[in-house]
């Protein structure tokens, strides 16, 4: 066991603080809307906190330093700049998504409102929910892997057992729904920033400063793992690194364009009080992320200067915990490792919430719209779904199959290829219709998978390009959508029939909706 | 290194410009439900004390 008293104290305080935050936030009585999207009334502070904490996952806190260690500054273009560009274009989507007076509660419901507003059972909503379920399960799985690595490093408990500790955090944060997730996420975001600042200080102190780090990585030829092939001298400071520009641009585009339409972000845009709060939320999120990533970049490069090669058999995902344990004083090391754990917990709870919501709210309830279910019962069912998915994510993480940051890139690429045109055209082009959405989702997802299997250099670009072609053909070969499908995203004041359709969709999904409306909404005459 | 940081810096400048334009559009629309308050970076009116 490599347990130090500082680690126990910091870890204990973190658990107590998290439990207290969860308890305080769970005091609010939660409706189904509260559980899924915070009741569309979130302010800027919590909005930025939860966005930052969700954004900073193990893929960023462990994967980015890991890739900087492995490939050098190319990781800044591929992952850091890619994800920042994604967040930079998100305000444009947020501005539109949060416009309707009666917004959707989930991403698949948004797709239904936009493309199948008159269907009693929306096939597209269910298909999108299934794709989301698969993607978010992989995301959650990756967070559990990261949690296990850190928990194993802190406690010395074998990784295979350490990952089960995640369930304790899941119980505390996720079961309270969106408000609990947002509150604990905000605490986690502050901890991540403080912990990484401590880690940065330790690395700078051990290396003697940024100048020394750059001097060391400029000439290093040390292999990634002991006994591995040596690196080419100077490659760590070249922009394309060992990837080559083609592969690096593929990663950049998948992270930038794919992440921007990731369903959990679209759902995040539904939570703020209004459209301007949604725009400002993403702007402040980017600003808050800058110091976090400065820390990660310096730590990643500094790690190469401090520990030129990893022990054989260790992946670069281990570099962060290894460095802080070896070169930081115990208290500083504990703070940094808690920051990584906070990143894993805060992203996983959010991902599992989306995963559970998609399987229960968008699949089960969409398939059985007439089944009697009160709001309290539905919220409890959601809690159970989330917890069971957490258990599955933990079991699946016993033998982790892929690198953390790369796993995110695959899922973001698939989401981007499938959802890019249905989301962007749906929000900015009135002519975009149901046939176009089906074409976009099926052709985009299918082409991405085929391109990936065939080892295409840029499967995301292939998927998105073929999908664009399919969407345009489908849209122009079929009739324009009814105004009830798009009006809420383009006009301030919508017609009564559009309002009626939105209320009916929400009421079908939520028996306790306050406003009773007729079930006989039909497309308005053109 | 400089090229890599340039990619990153450009995306940061981009979000500031985009957010500014969108907030201006919301203000120009005058729609209170969207967050038009008369102040560019304020999304809700302060309640009267």
Which of B2, B5, B6, B11 to substitute to test the interface with A, most A CBs within 10 Å?
Answer: B11
Q: How many CA atoms lie within 13 A of A42 on its CB side?
A: 36
Quote the tokens at residue A425. Answer: 């055209």
Q: How many CA atoms lie within 13 A of A203 on its CB side?
A: 33
In A, which residues are within 8 Å of B25 by CB distance? 95
Of A76, A273, A286, the CB nearest to B7: A76
Please indicate, yes or no, if residue B22 is contained in any of the structural domains. Answer: yes
Output the pLDDT for position A517.
36
- Does the structure show a pLDDT above 60 at A514? no
DSSP assigned state of A39: G
Hey, are the CB atoms on A77 and B16 less than 8 Å from each other?
no
**DSSP bridge pairs for A225:** A310
Domains of chain A: 5-357+367-509 (1.20.1730.10)
ipTM for this model: 0.92
DSSP 3-state of A121: coil
Of A44, A91, A272, the CB nearest to B22: A91
Output the pLDDT for position A260.
82
The minimum CA-CA distance between B48 and chain A, rounded to whole Å, is 18
The minimum CA-CA distance between A424 and chain B, rounded to whole Å, is 16
Per-residue buried b or exposed e for A171-197, using 16+ beta carbons within 10 Å of the residue's own CB:
bbbbbbbbbbbbbbbbbbbbbbbebbb
In B, which residues are within 8 Å of A290 by CB distance? 12
| Residue A34: pLDDT band with limits 50, 70, 90 | low
Nearest CA in chain B to A248: B4
The minimum CA-CA distance between B47 and chain A, rounded to whole Å, is 15
Q: Which residue has the higher pLDDT, A465 or A510?
A: A465
Percentage of chain A modeled with pLDDT above 90: 26
Hey, are the CB atoms on A274 and B3 less than 8 Å from each other?
no
Quote the tokens at residue A500. Answer: 């009626």
Q: Which residues contact A370 (CB under 8 A, 6 or more apart)?
A: none
Of A44, A239, A277, the CB nearest to B3: A239
| Residue A174: pLDDT band with limits 50, 70, 90 | low
Q: Render pLDDT for A322-364 as a digit per residue (tens, 0 to 9).
A: 888 888 888 888 888 888 887 787 777 778 877 887 787 788 8
Please indicate, yes or no, if residue B49 is contained in any of the structural domains. Answer: no
- Look-up: residue for tokens 């400063």? A209
Quote the tokens at residue A261. Answer: 């339409």
In B, which residues are within 8 Å of A88 by CB distance? 11-12, 14-15, 18
Please indicate, yes or no, if residue B13 is contained in any of the structural domains. Answer: yes
Output the pLDDT for position A515.
41
Output the pLDDT for position A232.
87
Distance CA A339, CA A349 (A): 15
Please indicate, yes or no, if residue B41 is contained in any of the structural domains. Answer: no
Quote the tokens at residue A57. Answer: 């996952």
- Does the structure show a pLDDT above 50 at A526? no
Hey, are the CB atoms on A92 and B18 less than 8 Å from each other?
yes
Please indicate, yes or no, if residue B47 is contained in any of the structural domains. Answer: no
In A, which residues are within 8 Å of B46 by CB distance? none
- Does the structure show a pLDDT above 60 at A520? no
Residues of A with CB under 8 A from a CB of B: 44, 73-74, 76-77, 80-81, 84-85, 87-89, 91-92, 95, 98-99, 101, 214, 237, 239, 252, 256, 272-277, 279-280, 282-283, 286-287, 290, 293, 492
Distance CA A236, CA A67 (A): 11
Is the Cβ–Cβ distance between A32 and A512 less than 8 Å? Answer: yes
Distance CA A419, CA A403 (A): 24
Output the pLDDT for position A381.
77
Please indicate, yes or no, if residue B20 is contained in any of the structural domains. Answer: yes
Distance CA A202, CA A220 (A): 21
Output the pLDDT for position A35.
66
Q: Which residues contact A188 (CB under 8 A, 6 or more apart)?
A: A53, A342, A343, A345, A346
Transcribe A131-190 into DSSP letters.
Answer: HHHHHHHHHHHHHHHHHHHHHHHHH---HHHHGGGHHHHHHHHTTT-HHHHHHHHHHHHH
Inter-chain contacts counted by CB atoms under 8 A, chains A and B: 101
Over residues A167-191, the mean pLDDT reads 74
CA dihedral over A197, B17, A266, A425, signed as positive or negative: negative
Hey, are the CB atoms on A85 and B11 less than 8 Å from each other?
yes
Nearest CA in chain B to A80: B8
How buried is A324 (Cβ within 10 angstroms: 0-12 exposed, 13-18 middle, 19+ buried)? buried
Over residues A470-481, the mean pLDDT reads 96
Distance CA A59, CA A80 (A): 11
Of A256, A277, A283, the CB nearest to B16: A283
Hey, are the CB atoms on A101 and B15 less than 8 Å from each other?
no
Is the Cβ–Cβ distance between A163 and A147 less than 8 Å? Answer: yes
Distance CA A92, CA B18 (A): 7
**Helix H segments across A208-225?**
210-219
Output the pLDDT for position B16.
92
Is the Cβ–Cβ distance between A321 and A153 less than 8 Å? Answer: yes
Of A77, A92, A279, the CB nearest to B7: A77
Q: Which structural domain, as residue segments, surrounds residue B23?
A: 2-34
Window from A83-97, A138-152, A477-491, B12-26 with minimum mean pLDDT: A138-152
Output the pLDDT for position A442.
95
Structural domains counted in chain B: 1
**CB of B29 less than 8 A from some CB of A:** yes
């Amino acid at each position: 066991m490599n347990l130090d008293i500082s680690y126990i104290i910091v870890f204990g305080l973190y658990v107590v603080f998290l439990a207290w935050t969860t308890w305080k936030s769970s005091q609010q009585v939660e409706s189904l809307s509260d559980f899924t999207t915070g009741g569309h009334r979130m302010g800027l502070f919590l909005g930025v906190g939860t966005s930052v904490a969700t954004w900073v996952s193990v893929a960023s806190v462990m994967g980015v330093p890991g890739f900087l260690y492995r490939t050098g500054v190319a990781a800044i273009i591929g992952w850091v700049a890619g994800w920042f560009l994604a967040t930079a274009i998100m305000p444009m989507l947020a501005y539109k998504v949060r416009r309707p007076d009666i917004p959707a509660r989930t991403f698949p419901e948004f797709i239904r409102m936009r493309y199948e507003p008159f269907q009693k059972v929306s096939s597209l909503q269910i298909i999108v929910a299934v794709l989301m379920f698969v993607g978010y399960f992989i995301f959650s799985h990756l967070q559990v892997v990261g949690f296990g690595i850190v928990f194993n490093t802190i406690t010395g408990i074998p990784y295979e057992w350490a990952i089960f500790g995640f369930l304790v955090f899941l119980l505390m944060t996720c079961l309270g729904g969106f408000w609990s997730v947002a509150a604990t996420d905000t605490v986690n975001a502050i901890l991540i920033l403080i912990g990484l600042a401590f880690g940065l200080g330790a690395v700078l102190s051990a290396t003697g400063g940024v100048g020394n780090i750059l001097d060391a990585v400029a000439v290093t030829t040390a292999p990634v793992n002991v006994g591995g092939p040596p690196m080419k001298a100077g490659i760590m400071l070249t922009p394309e690194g060992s990837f080559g520009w083609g592969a690096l641009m593929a990663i950049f585009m998948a992270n930038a364009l794919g992440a921007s339409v990731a369903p959990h972000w679209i759902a995040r845009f539904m939570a703020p009080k209004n459209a301007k709060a949604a725009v400002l939320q993403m702007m402040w999120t980017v600003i808050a992320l800058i110091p976090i990533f400065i820390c990660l970049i310096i730590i990643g490069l500094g790690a190469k200067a401090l520990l030129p090669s990893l022990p054989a058999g260790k992946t670069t995902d281990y570099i962060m915990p290894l460095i802080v344990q070896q070169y930081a004083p115990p208290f500083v090391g504990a703070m940094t490792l808690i920051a990584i754990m906070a990143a894993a917990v805060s992203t996983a709870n959010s991902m599992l919430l989306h995963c559970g919501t998609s399987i229960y709210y968008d699949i089960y309830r969409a398939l059985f719209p007439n089944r009697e279910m009160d709001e309290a019962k539905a919220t409890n069912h959601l809690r159970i779904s989330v917890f069971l998915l957490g258990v599955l994510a933990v079991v699946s993480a016993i033998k982790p199959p892929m690198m953390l940051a790369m796993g995110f890139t695959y899922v973001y690429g698939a989401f981007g290829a499938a959802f890019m045109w249905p989301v962007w055209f749906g929000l900015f082009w009135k002519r975009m219709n149901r046939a176009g959405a089906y074409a976009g989702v099926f052709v985009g997802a299918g082409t991405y998978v085929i391109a990936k299997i065939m080892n295409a250099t840029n499967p995301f670009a292939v998927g998105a390009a073929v999908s664009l072609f399919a969407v345009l053909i489908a849209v122009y070969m079929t009739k324009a959508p009814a105004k009830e499908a798009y009006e809420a995203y383009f006009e301030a004041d919508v017609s009564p029939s559009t309002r009626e359709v939105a209320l009916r969709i929400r009421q079908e999904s939520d028996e306790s909706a306050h406003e009773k409306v007729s079930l006989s909404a039909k497309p308005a005459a053109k | 290194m400089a090229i890599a940081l340039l990619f990153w810096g450009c995306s940061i400048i981009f979000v500031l410009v985009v957010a500014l334009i969108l907030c201006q559009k919301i203000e120009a629309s005058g729609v209170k439900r969207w967050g038009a308050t008369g102040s560019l970076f304020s999304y809700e009116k302060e309640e009267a004390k």
